Amino acid sequence: MWLMTPLREWLKPPKNLLLILFLLTLVSVTALAWSGWKLLQQDRAGQAQQRLEMLDAEADRMVVTLRGTLAETGDRLSAWLASPSQAGIPRDGVLLIARDNALNAYPEGRLLYYPNPSPDPEAPQETFAQGETLEFQEGQLLKAAAWYRILTESREASIRAGALLREARALRKAGREAEARAAYTRLAGVGGARVAGVPADLAARHELDDPALGAELLSGRWHLTRGQFEFYFGGPVPEDRRLLAEAAAVVWNPPSGPGQTTVWIGHTPFLAMWRTLGSTRAVLIEPPQLPAAERVFCAAVDSEGRLVAGRRDRSGRAAIRTAAETKLPWTLYVTATEPPPLSAMPPNQRYLLFGMGVMALFLVAGTYFTARAIRREIEVSRMQSDFVSAVSHEFRSPLTSIRQLSEILALGRAPGEERRQLYYDTLVRETARLQRLVEALLNFGRMEAGARPYHFEETDAGALLERVAAEFDHQAAESGRRIELTPPGYPCPVEADSEALAVALRNLIDNALKYSPHEPAIWVEWKMENGQVAIRVRDQGAGITADERRAIFRKFVRGSAAAAGNVRGSGVGLAMVLHIVDAHHGEIHVKSEPGSGSTFTILLPAMEKACPASS
Ligand code: ADP
């Protein structure tokens, strides 16, 4: 119990209630958002787990496939070791078979140049010593040529080639061009021998300026070293073949036993695999390749972290298979092709988000409307208490004068007949005022409850206005003021409950007088306008601000003019006017500027037989 009292006290002030409501909503929305977020995260984590499992499965599949491919290549290498063949060599790769110092490349022509010189035989220098003495020391070129010619008949291709080269050279120096070319042409027909370190036919065709030489060099038919190739070829070397030849230069002589390695030529990697059998070595060089994968990116990375093949995506999580665990030449990174886009959010997540959004919306909207209702309630209760104090005040002043005057009269203290009459008149006026007040409040109460019956009958609005205005004559005259009526000169009949309409008009005239206390007059006019009877009550008083112009028609609302002028009133007058005008199917408008007065206009539907002077 002792706890309840302070709690109740604390809960009472509306400001605290609103704060509690706001905090409760905040906590609920936060809790909702938090649990939504948690659920989403859980869902996401589940998805991520699934993706990871998929990546793991793909990585394992990749390892198995790659191992299989490498094992197959190893088997093929062993077979090639026994009998080299063109079949089965990858399109961008080359197979090298090295035996002692002899090196062959398959498919033929794939290697542009070789890491070792041609194994073809070349006649020793001394074979031609005598001829060269004649040629170089004695300058007897033709004699030397004749001497060489004898050797051109040798049965050994290397001697024949060496002799033909020298004969052609001596003849050319002697100016016997035609004979020299004939010798070079013969030399071009000698195969399997070297002269000056290069194949004899190549040397001859070079001397003969053979235009097809470049294309044939590219076909790779001669076993040349890099320097020789570049000397004869001259033009730009196709990059892929240059890289392959460079890779061959690195791995052509591998250590014995089976093996594999990644060779880097500049930024280009090659996979080299080899098998050996005695002194024979079979080496396959090819660009590294990974098996095709659909839903994933796969990257092969060497021990130094360089990307050997495939595509590496560092943005997401990857399934990793290290070279050490798989015994593959590379470490494999398998990643998903793309992160799941937001639109691909599964339907259950979308429903969840949507549901939470709707709940949050309801919560916020509910709080808003509740807060608004509470605020309104607070406002109404404030206005009601203002109303009670205003009404009590209204009652107090006539009651006080009635009491004082009746006491004076009862005690016979009124001096003279004239004064006594004055007191009686005042008593009558104040009682009437009290009655009007009570009537007005009762009327308003009935109207509010919808229990005020209206009795419509033909009423002349002009006559009614004149009657109501006359009621205020005494009050106006007392303060030296007047009510100016502007009758139109014709009757303005309306279908009205004359008593109710009189109440409305009384309120407007009373207000005009109340809110322009220092002005000498107020104006009342009525006439026909567009088939309606327009009744205007105008004053030059305090006026009404724009933001108050609608509010003053609500019950209990008292405007700034009332507060500023400390004017008596209860705040129900205009609400009642609006009620009555509505019941007459009419309209009420107010035109006002603060400081320059107000004009209230009531428009009532005119009766059909109304006067003609409408404008
Ligand atoms: P009350 O006059 O008892 O306060 P009403 O409902 O008649 O209540 O009027 C509501 C408010 O409208 C007034 O408090 C006053 O601020 C404003 N008002 C009404 N008539 C006039 C007028 N002629 N001039 C200036 N203000 C007016």
- DSSP letter string, 342-378: GGG--HHHHHHHHHHHHHHHHHHHHHHHHHHHHHHHH
Cβ 504 under 6 angstroms from ligand 1: no
Residue pLDDT, tens place only, 6-61: 666 655 556 677 788 888 888 888 888 888 888 888 888 888 888 889 889 999 99
* Buried residues in 163-201 as b, exposed as e (16+ CB within 10 A): bbbbbbbbbbebebeebbbebbebbbebeebbbeebbbb
End-to-end CA distance of the chain: 74
Q: Return the H-helix or E-strand segment holding 600.
A: strand 598-605
Cβ 232 under 6 angstroms from ligand 1: no
Cβ 134 under 6 angstroms from ligand 1: no
Ligand 1: which residue has its CA nearest to atom 2?
Answer: 569
Which pLDDT does position 342 carry in this prediction? 53
Cβ 511 under 6 angstroms from ligand 1: yes
Which pLDDT does position 15 carry in this prediction? 66
**SS3 assignment for 71-90:** HHHHHHHHHHHHCCCCCCCC
Span from the CA of 558 to the centroid of ligand 1 (angstroms): 6
What is the C-alpha to C-alpha distance for residues 593 and 575, in angstroms, rounded to an integer?
Answer: 21
What is the C-alpha to C-alpha distance for residues 326 and 70, in angstroms, rounded to an integer?
Answer: 12
Can you tell me which atom of ligand 1 is nearest the CA of 516?
Answer: 24
Q: Return the H-helix or E-strand segment holding 249.
A: helix 239-251
What single-letter DSSP state applies at residue 222?
Answer: S
Cβ 113 under 6 angstroms from ligand 1: no
Cβ 542 under 6 angstroms from ligand 1: yes
Does the pLDDT value for residue 279 go beyond 90? no
Residue pLDDT, tens place only, 328-384: 889 999 988 866 555 566 777 778 778 888 888 888 888 888 888 888 888 878 878
Cβ 573 under 6 angstroms from ligand 1: yes
Q: pTM value?
A: 0.52
Which pLDDT does position 9 carry in this prediction? 62
Mean pLDDT of the chain: 88
| Sequence-ordered strand ranges (E) for 450-520 | 457-460, 482-486, 493-496
Contact 80, 282 (CB under 8 A): yes
- Residue 461: which of 301, 602, 267, 317 has the closest Cα? 602
Cβ 541 under 6 angstroms from ligand 1: yes
> Which structure tokens are listed for 63?
């390892």
Residue pLDDT, tens place only, 220-278: 889 999 999 999 998 888 899 999 999 999 988 888 889 999 999 999 999 999 999 88
Does the pLDDT value for residue 615 go beyond 50? no
Mean pLDDT of 549-574: 89
> Locate tokens 């006019």: which residue?
525
Which pLDDT does position 533 carry in this prediction? 96
φ, ψ dihedrals at 49, nearest 5°: -60, -45
Give the SS3 label for residue 449.
helix
Give whole-number Cα distances, 467 to 434, 457, 538, in Å: 20, 17, 18
Ligand 1: which residue has its CA nearest to atom 16?
Answer: 559
Residue pLDDT, tens place only, 48-63: 888 889 889 999 999 9
Max mean pLDDT among 321-330, 358-367, 598-607 falls in 598-607
Can you tell me which atom of ligand 1 is nearest the CA of 553?
Answer: 6
Q: Which residues pair with 259 in a beta bridge?
A: 274
Span from the CA of 462 to the centroid of ligand 1 (angstroms): 24
CATH number for the region 453-605 comes to 3.30.565.10
Ligand 1: which residue has its CA nearest to atom 15?
Answer: 559
φ, ψ dihedrals at 286, nearest 5°: -155, 155
Max mean pLDDT among 292-306, 330-344, 421-435, 512-526 falls in 512-526
Contact 600, 508 (CB under 8 A): yes
Which pLDDT does position 29 carry in this prediction? 82
| Domain spans of the chain, in order of start | 453-605
Mean pLDDT of 476-492: 92
Can you tell me which atom of ligand 1 is nearest the CA of 576?
Answer: 6
Reported as a pLDDT band with limits 50, 70 and 90, residue 611 is low
C-alpha R_g of the chain:
60
Give whole-number Cα distances, 129 to 144, 145, 147, 203, 297, in Å: 10, 13, 11, 21, 67
- Residue 567: which of 521, 512, 504, 524 has the closest Cα? 512
Span from the CA of 460 to the centroid of ligand 1 (angstroms): 27
The residue type at 320:
I
Contact 154, 125 (CB under 8 A): no
Which pLDDT does position 150 carry in this prediction? 94
What single-letter DSSP state applies at residue 95?
Answer: E
**Which of the listed residues 515, 540, 580 should we mutate to test ligand 1's pocket, taking the one with most ligand atoms within 8 A of CB?**
515
Contact 509, 522 (CB under 8 A): yes
What is the C-alpha to C-alpha distance for residues 384 and 571, in angstroms, rounded to an integer?
Answer: 10
Percent of the chain with pLDDT over 70: 95
What single-letter DSSP state applies at residue 313?
Answer: -
Cβ 558 under 6 angstroms from ligand 1: yes
Query: CA 184: distance to chain centroid?
Result: 78
Cβ 597 under 6 angstroms from ligand 1: no
Does the pLDDT value for residue 285 go beyond 80? yes
What is the C-alpha to C-alpha distance for residues 351 and 403, in angstroms, rounded to an integer?
Answer: 76
Does the pLDDT value for residue 111 go beyond 60? yes
Does the pLDDT value for residue 2 go beyond 70? no
- Residue 257: which of 277, 233, 237 has the closest Cα? 277
